Structure 1
Amino acid sequence: MLTHLSIQNFAVVKNISLSLAEGMSAITGETGAGKSIGIDALSLCIGGRADANMVRSGAAKAEIIAHFDINNRTKVQQWLVEHELDDEGECFIRRVISAEGRSKAFINGIPVSLQQLKQLGAFLISIHGQNAHQSLLKDSVQRQLLDNFAEHPELVTQTQSAYKVLNEAQSRFEYLQSQAQAREDRVQLLSYQVSELDEFGLGDTEFESLEIEHKRLSNSQALLEETQHSYARLYDDDEFNALSAIQQSVDSLQDLCDSDPALEPIVSLLNEAAIQVKEAATELRAYNEDLDVDPAEIAEVQARFDKVNELARKHQVMPEMLYSHHMTLAQELSDIHNASDELEDMQTRLDKLKADYNQAAQRLSESRQAHAIELAAAIETQIQRMNMPHATLSIDVAFSPEKRSALGSDDVTFLIATNPGQKADSLDKVVSGGELARIGLAMHVIASNNGAIPTLIFDEVDTGISGPTASIVGQLLRTMGKHAQVLCVTHLPQVAAQAHNQLFVTKQVTGNNTETQILNLSADDRISELARLLAGDKVTESALSNARSLLENVAQ
């Protein structure tokens, strides 16, 4: 619960330090005094939007600090530990707003994001404004109220998980379906292309070998003639050949070596040259004899070489890339066939996931239907106490298998009849604003019993209520104070009298300076304030007597 609130330079507040107690605390004051300022400050502490206009005129910054007692608040303690914000069981929130509109947030002195502030705030405080009951008209809010009352989060989670998996599978299935025709058209083209390339059967490195063979055979006649001529020039020409010329030089110079030994190295080189020429001639003759110019082979190689180039041009790739292109097309064709198989498998999986979702949604619906009877009876009891004695309320839970959402397949509708003989219908068609406020308050009373949120704040939720009904509303708020800390801004003495504690908001104007203060009222001060609420600015002895009577009746 909220134990202490400190506000500095916020709106018309200069400095307020306020300790808060358990039970119900009523907040009263004159119109325009700023009774809602504390609520606005707390709203910032749980992630509300900050604005430069919130900073008191002339101040550099506004600061709000809220301290909470989190003993026995397991969820809060776990959250703080998970986010490494735990400080030996302490929990205080600090929000600072600069005059320029910049905002900073701290939990236990550690800077945090606005999202973290909202997450923690949801465990600590629930604020209900003057028109909050209008949200009861929304189907989504009615469903959420029922789920909160039923306390079946595991069923909601199971349904959400089943829906998420189903939705993802459905999206994949629809994508595969949308691509089915495009895949079919692509399959026809790929099947033809891959079949043609399969039939040709080009090997992985065949083109490189084919290119070399094509060059050789294309120039086979020139190779044959030139090797024959070279062989003759080196060895076989009768008029002149290189080997004979070298041999003659060796013979001539050999005789002169006795005259000059310096010629011996030269003769040795010429002998080696003669050997090399003879070996080269022998190799040329063997190459020439093996060179088989087969017109049929030339035609075959030429045809295959031309076909490679033709297919390469057709597929707009380089000839040396034709094989890898063939493999790419074959893989794409295989992938498309796999996608078709996936579509068939996905249909089977989708049917199972739909069945899983329907089962989870059915369990959730059954729980809602069972708890709807209990919740309707509880609300009916409370609103009948608030000057709606003939009101009857029921909650319709309509399960529609064809309707799927993360929150189930139910349409939840609150149906009410406020007068005897009146046909029950939805809230928006039957109840007035005041009646809707009472129904909303009844829901808060019921919800407070589970103690999920320690501090409940109501900002003039009793608007439109007066007389005996106001006394009942006050009693209900007091009852809520047994299970949670209740702070209620009110202008009704019947409501304020029911509070365990009372705070008074006062505004002082000095020249151009306005300052708001919040005071804890003593027992005598409460009598005076209740008398003011009863009689207005002119407090009479009769009003004071009535005020005492209100408090005494509560005490009894």
Structure 2
Amino acid sequence: MLISLQIKNFAIVNELTIDWRSGMTAITGETGAGKSIAIDALSLCLGERADVASIRPGATKAEITAQFDIRQLPYAQQFLSDLMLDDEEQNCILRRVIMQNGRSKSFINGNSVTAAQLKELGQRLIAIHGQHAHQLLLKPEHQLRLLDAYAGHDNLLHAVRAQYQHYHTLQKEHAELIKQQQAQAAKKQLLEYQVQELDEFALEEGEYEQIETEHTRLSHSQTLAESCQRELMCLSEQDDQTVLGQLQHSVQTFIELSNYDPKLQEISQLLGEAAVQLEEGCRELRAYGENIEQDPERLQSVEDRLAQAMALSRKHQISPELLHHHHQQLHEELASICSNNERIEDLQHEIAEALHAYQISAAQLSESRTQAALTLNELISESMHELSMENGQFAIQLNQHEDRRPNELGMDQIDFLVSTNPGQPLQALAKVASGGELSRISLAIQVIIANRVTTPTLIFDEVDVGISGPTASQVGKQLRQLGNSTQVICVTHLPQVACSGHHQFFVSKRVEDGETFTSMLPLVQEQRINEIARLLGGDKVSSTTRASAKELLEVQSL
């Protein structure tokens, strides 16, 4: 429940504090006094879009603070708890500051929050019905929203929305893959040819380097064999003139000389080790030379493979060393395209299953809407009778089309139908109802919906436009009855509606030194009589109008 509202430097308000009470509160005032200014300020405090033009001229910022009692509001409590903004006393204080630079600041219980969070919390605290609500009544999406609000089947709406989102995601993926498939058709054909060619060549990783090395060895096998034999002869196989023979002779010489000088013993050891290493090297060289083969056929085979590798590398414009890696990349790219085709087939099955699941949820939602519509038809028709449309009939027409393109609100097409005269068939609301009738039907729907939807505070901002006489009296009684269970705030210009309030505020403005100031004051009984008399008879209040006002207050308060 709204407890208080503080407004500073907003529009023509300098500073204003309003304390609110339970029940129905009527707000009246002179034309142009700004009867809706408190509602506008409250809307801003609840997260509506900020406008620099709303700052009072000459002020640097506008500030609005609203305090709520949320002890009986579990949804609001849970919201605050989730954001760790809850208060031990279960109070809820919202504050909005609008700066001259166009920026705004939002606060909940003294903590900085976003305007979106402020708005989300506000939806759990207050529902505002504006004077143009009857115009929205002609829009199918608004009609569907009203029906869903009355039905209260949030779980079904959530299920349909979730199924639709899943179906839509699959459809989007399918469309993207089809688009890719079309764009990649020519590329796939080229890749298949390239991969097949490289598959046939089947170059292994590191193979090019190996065959390049082998080619060099095979093409120089004659040189290798002759050189090895020549050097082997020089090292160890040429009588006493070999390097090994001379080295062994030196070793023996220094062994003998070490008898004369022990220092030569270390030299003889080093030369002996060298002789052993040289002898081992000669054995390895002999074995290598014996295994050198001159294989013209193998050489030709290696040359052919090298030539083919070079040709493929030129064809793909890469170095031969990268040919194997390039082959793998093309193979992966082709596999990706092929897997896309497989995914498209899988998606077609998934989309069909998702659509079927969506249709089941949407059918359940349609059934719930149909049941709620039957009840709502009777309630609105009865309310029309009470609002001076004695022969009025109201009906909600729902059409379910399984072949209709899915959307997150289900498969239903809705139309509000009405008949206002005897013998007149039910027709679309926009074709039949006059402006006044449309306003009355809209108000009846809003009251019925508000009575069903458990919003703690309801605000009606001049929704009684186009209503007068007995109809206005009935509207006032309906709003007062609603105020017995819910806090209702109503901005009105009708004395019958104003009289129905448990409480009443009067809005006035004054001009001082070229500046305009607005005030909003609660009225006691005598002041209410005078204000109702003004609404009845104009600016001049007579004893007659006062007597009528007093009587009207007594009648509407019953």
TM-score interval for Structure 1 and Structure 2 normalised by the shorter chain: over 0.9
- Map of 1:318 onto structure 2: 319
Gaps of 5+ in 1: none
Q: Secondary structure at the match of 1:504?
A: strand
- Cα deviation, 1:109-162, whole Å, max 9, x if unaligned, reads 211110011001111112222222211111000001111111111111111111
* Distance in 2 separating the partners of 1:168 and 1:544: 67
Instruction: Among all aligned residue pairs of Structure 1 and Structure 2, give the percentage whose two residues are the same amino acid.
Output: 47
Deviation for aligned residue 1:28: 0.9
Counterpart of 1:15 in structure 2 is 15
Q: Show the counterpart of 1:170.
A: 171
SS in 2 for 1:140: helix
- 61-70 or 78-87, which moves further after superposition? 61-70
Do 1:451 and 1:483's aligned partners in 2 also have CA atoms closer than 8 Å? no
What is the CA distance between 1:368 and its match in structure 2?
A: 1.2
User: Residue 8 of structure 2 contacts residue 64 of structure 2 at CA under 8 Å; is this kept in 1?
Assistant: yes
Equivalent residues of 2:504, 2:523 under 8 A apart? yes
- How far has the Cα of 1:519 moved from its partner? 1.1
Q: CA contact under 8 A between 2:496 and 2:556: conserved in structure 1?
A: no
Q: 1:330 to 1:511 in 2, by over 3 A?
A: closer
TM-score with structure 2 setting the length: 0.92
- Say whether the 8 Å CA contact 1:3–1:19 is kept in structure 2: yes
> Which secondary structure does the structure 2 equivalent of 1:91 belong to?
strand
Partner residue in 1 for 2:521? 519
Deviation digits for residues 6-27 of structure 1 (CA, Å, limit 9, x no counterpart): 2223222233222212221111
Structural mapping, 1:200-349, within 5 Å: 200-237=201-238, 241-243=242-244, 276-349=277-350
Offset at 1:428? 1.7
Q: How does 1:495-514 map to 2 (within 5 A)?
A: 495-514=497-516
Counterpart residue number, 2:34: 34
Please state whether the residue corresponding to 2:86 is helix, strand or coil.
Answer: coil
CA–CA separation in structure 2 for the residues paired with 1:280 and 1:501: 117
Query: 1:137-196 CA distances to partner (integer Å, 9 max, x unpaired)?
Result: 110000011111111111111111111111111122222333334455444333333333
Query: Aligned letter for 1:292?
Result: E
Q: 1:173 to 1:51 in 2, by over 3 A?
A: closer
Counterpart amino acid of residue 380 in structure 2: I
Deviation at 1:543, TM superposition (A): 0.8
Q: Alpha-carbon deviations, 1:204-254, whole Å to 9, x = none?
A: 333332222122112212212222222333344579654565577778889
Structure 2 counterpart of 1:422, from 418, 424, 431: 424
Match of 1:412 in 2: 414
| In structure 1, C-alpha distance between the alignment counterparts of 2:336 and 2:101, rounded to whole Å | 59
Aligned residue number for residue 5 of structure 2: 5
| Stretch of structure 1 that moved more, 303-312 or 157-166 | 303-312
Could you tell me how far 1:273 is from its partner in structure 2? 5.3
* RMSD of equivalent CA atoms: 2.6
1:374 maps to 375
Distance (Å, rounded) in 1 between the aligned partners of 2:256 and 2:4: 129
What is the SS of the residue equivalent to 1:123?
A: coil
Q: Which residue of structure 2 aligns with residue 466 of structure 1?
A: 468
- Counterpart contact for 2:387–2:471, Cα < 8 Å: yes
Distance 2:55 2:248 in 1: 116
**TM-score normalised according to structure 1 size:** 0.93
Q: Which amino acid aligns with 1:223?
A: L
The total of aligned residue pairs comes to 556
Query: Is the aligned partner of 1:118 residue 2:119?
Result: yes
Moved more, 390-399 or 307-316: 307-316
User: How far apart are the structure 1 equivalents of 2:387 and 2:494?
Assistant: 15
1:37-85 Cα distance to aligned partner (Å, 9 max, x none) = 1111111111122233333334343322211121221111111111111
Measured in 2, the distance between the counterparts of 1:140 and 1:168 equals 23
Match for 2:513: what amino acid? G
The answer to whether the Cα contact below 8 Å between 1:26 and 1:490 also exists between their aligned partners in 2 is yes
CA contact (8 A) 1:451 1:484 kept: no
Higher mean Cα deviation, 377-386 or 335-344? 335-344
Distance 1:256 1:492 in 2: 140
SS where residue 91 of structure 2 aligns? Answer: coil
Task: Write the distance in 1 (CA, Å) between the matches of 2:146 and 2:191.
Answer: 58
| Structure 2 counterpart of 1:45 | 45
Residues 233, 130 of structure 1: alpha-carbon distance in 2 compared, 3 angstrom cutoff:
same
Contact 1:163 1:406 in 2 (8 A): yes
What is the distance in 1 between the residues matched to 2:256 and 2:81? Answer: 110
Partners in 2 of 1:73 and 1:251 — Cα distance? 112
Distance 2:213 2:97 in 1: 81
Q: Residue type of the partner of 2:449? A: A
